[in-house]
Amino acid sequence: MQNIILSDLIRKHPLATTFLNEHHIDYCCGGDHLLYSAIEEQGLDKESFLLELEQYLHEMEERINPVIREELYEMSIEELIDHLEDTHHQIERMLLSSIDEKLYTILSVHYTHHKDELVDVFSLFEDLRKELLIHFVQEEKEVFPLMKREATQATLMKVEALEADHEGAGILIKQLQKRTNDFTVPSDGCPTYRATYDLMKKLVEDIFLHIYTENAILFPKFEQGAML
Ligand SMILES: [Fe+2]
Ligand SMILES: [Fe+2]
């Protein structure tokens, strides 16, 4: 595989996102980094990484529909916004609410043996939940309607503020991944513990695709219009 920038890799192979997530390679905020440098930055062996990545893509692309589909790049601003609201915003609201409930349950049940981890995880998750829920409302009620209507400099500044929110969410996610040892359940963890961490992992994967679609497809398309 050639040394291309991460956002081009994802455009060409949408399923690479899951593989990159597993290896903690940030294609979201680091989308403009070159693949080889990103591998080296993570201290991974380049040859075996590329071999595994190619095998993974070959297997997955044969059986799964791409998650960042090629047609997203062809959509208009209106279509992209409708797509984001109908998919990622809905799915993530559902996941946030489900995790919130389960996490409080495991905090209560496993407090004695895992209080240090669970208090930190609960607190980080609640910060992320609050940030995202407010962010979704700002997009849906304020910035997205403006983006559909007018490509002005004032709207462009609001779009830049959304990008800054994405970075903030990315930082909280990295802290959550670190504190949970990448959502690893302790050996005495119950099925709810496991389900909560599995759902958090799914949430994080969805958020990365969501932010990528906004940062790398929707916002550049809007910025181009605002510059004209
Ligand atoms: Fe969004
Ligand atoms: Fe957003």
- DSSP characters over 180-218: TTTTPPPTT--HHHHHHHHHHHHHHHHHHHHHHIIIIII
Number of the ligand closest to the Cα of 89: 1
Q: Using alpha carbons, list the distances in angstroms from residue 183 to 17, 84, 121.
A: 17, 26, 10
pTM of this structure:
0.76
Cα angle 77, 80, 127 (rounded to 5 degrees) comes to 115
Determine whether 160 is exposed, middle or buried from the number of CB atoms within 10 Å of its CB (0-12, 13-18, 19+): exposed
Q: How much distance in Å is there from the Cα of 79 to the middle of ligand 1?
A: 13
Rounded Cα distance between 223 and 228, Å, is: 9
Q: From ligand 2's centre to the CA of 135, what distance in Å?
A: 6
Instruction: Give the separation between CA 169 and CA 174, rounded to whole angstroms.
Output: 9
Q: Which SS3 state, helix, strand or coil, does residue 5 take? A: strand
Say how many Å lie between the CA of residue 1 and the centre of ligand 1.
Answer: 31
Cα of 210 from ligand 1 centre, angstroms: 6
CA of 2 from ligand 1 middle (Å) equals: 31
Distance 66 CA to ligand 1 centre (A): 19
pLDDT of residue 119: 97
Decide if pLDDT at 65 tops 50: no
Residue 178 pLDDT greater than 80, yes or no: yes
- 120 Rama class: left (phi>0) / alpha (psi -120 to 50) / beta: alpha
Percent of the chain with pLDDT over 90: 59
pLDDT, position 202: 85
Asked if the model's pLDDT at residue 66 lies above 50, the reply is no
Q: How far is the CA of 196 from the centre of ligand 2 (A)?
A: 24
Distance 157 CA to ligand 2 centre (A): 14
Model pLDDT for residues 92-105, shown as the tens digit of each residue: 998 899 899 889 98
| Partner residues linked to 52 by β-bridges | none
Nearest CA among 73, 48, 89, 90 for reference residue 211: 89
Q: Which residues lie near ion ligand 1 (Cβ < 5 Å)?
A: 139
As a whole number, mean pLDDT of residues 177-182 equals: 96
Is residue 190 over pLDDT 90?
no
SS3 3: coil
Instruction: Please give the distance, rounded to the nearest whole angstrom, from the Cα atom of residue 163 to the centre of ligand 2.
Output: 7
Tell me how far the alpha carbon of residue 72 lies from the centroid of ligand 2, in angstroms. Answer: 16
Instruction: Give the Å distance between the CA of 166 and the centre of ligand 1.
Output: 9
Query: Ligand 1 centroid vs 43 CA: distance in angstroms?
Result: 32
**pLDDT tens figures, 100-130:** 988 998 999 888 989 999 999 999 999 999 9
Q: What is the DSSP letter of 71?
A: G
Does 176 score more than 90 pLDDT? yes
Q: Residue 75's pLDDT is what?
A: 94
Question: In this predicted model, what pLDDT tens digit does every residue of 137-166 receive, in sequence order?
Answer: 999 999 999 999 988 889 999 999 999 999
Domain coordinates in residue numbering, the chain: 6-63, 74-227
Dig out the tokens for 217 from the structure. 């497809």
Map 10-70 to HEC letters.
HHHCCCHHHHHHHCCCCCCCCCCCEHHHHHHHCCCCHHHHHHHHHHHHHHHHHHCCCCCCH
Helix 153-179 × helix 191-212 angle, to 10° = 150
Please, what is the average pLDDT of the chain?
Answer: 89
